[in-house]
Amino acid sequence: MSDVIKSGKFVSLTYSICDTQGNVLEQNDIPVSYIHGGDMELIGGMDMAVEGKKPGDRVEFSVPPGAAFGKHDQDLVFTDDIGNVPPQFRYLGAEVQMQNDQGDVKSFYVTRIEDDRLTVDGNHPLAGKTLIVSVNVREVRDATKEDVMALSSAGQCSIN
């Protein structure tokens, strides 16, 4: 009998993340490995979704915005006359670093240029979206000391 995913097991999986319209937002066909029940944080409760599964199993679940990248915060969206924006930021997708009064720096991205107005947005591109996650379990086995050492020294790959 194959091992099942439970705390302390070495797990390898591949996954894809889609929006509710079926558009693929992220896909990882190279297996991601982790020690189940460890410190690694998986998106939207993926660890709970694969608990008890075995190699070859496929799990699909939806992740609401609050469990993924948060709700879209309209306070992080700013529009200004394009003339007030330096030329190097006048294209869609441009990254603009902004600093608040406390000195915290945050990345904003140009999301719209229309009628000589430019809009930047500090929300994560997937904020406010429900995500559909499909996981394919590739390998489940007892974790070795080498696995623990390799994954902790590599900082463990986080899925989010």
pTM of the model: 0.70
Listed residue (99, 88, 101, 90) closest to 122, CA to CA: 99
Which run of H or of E encompasses 151? Answer: helix 145-153
Same fold, 9-68+127-153 and 74-121: no
The whole-angstrom separation of Cα 75 and Cα 106 is 13
Beta bridge partners of 160: none
Q: Give the pLDDT of the chain (160 residues) as one tens digit per residue.
A: 458 999 989 999 999 999 999 999 989 999 988 999 887 777 778 888 999 999 999 999 999 998 888 899 999 999 999 999 999 999 999 999 988 889 999 999 999 999 999 999 999 888 999 999 999 999 999 988 888 788 776 544 444 4
* Fold classified for 9-68+127-153: Chitinase A; domain 3 (3.10.50)
| Domain regions of the chain by residue span | 9-68+127-153, 74-121
Q: CATH 2.40.10.330: does it fit domain 74-121?
A: yes
Question: How many CB atoms neighbour CB 15 within 10 A?
Answer: 22
Provide the pLDDT for residue 1: 47
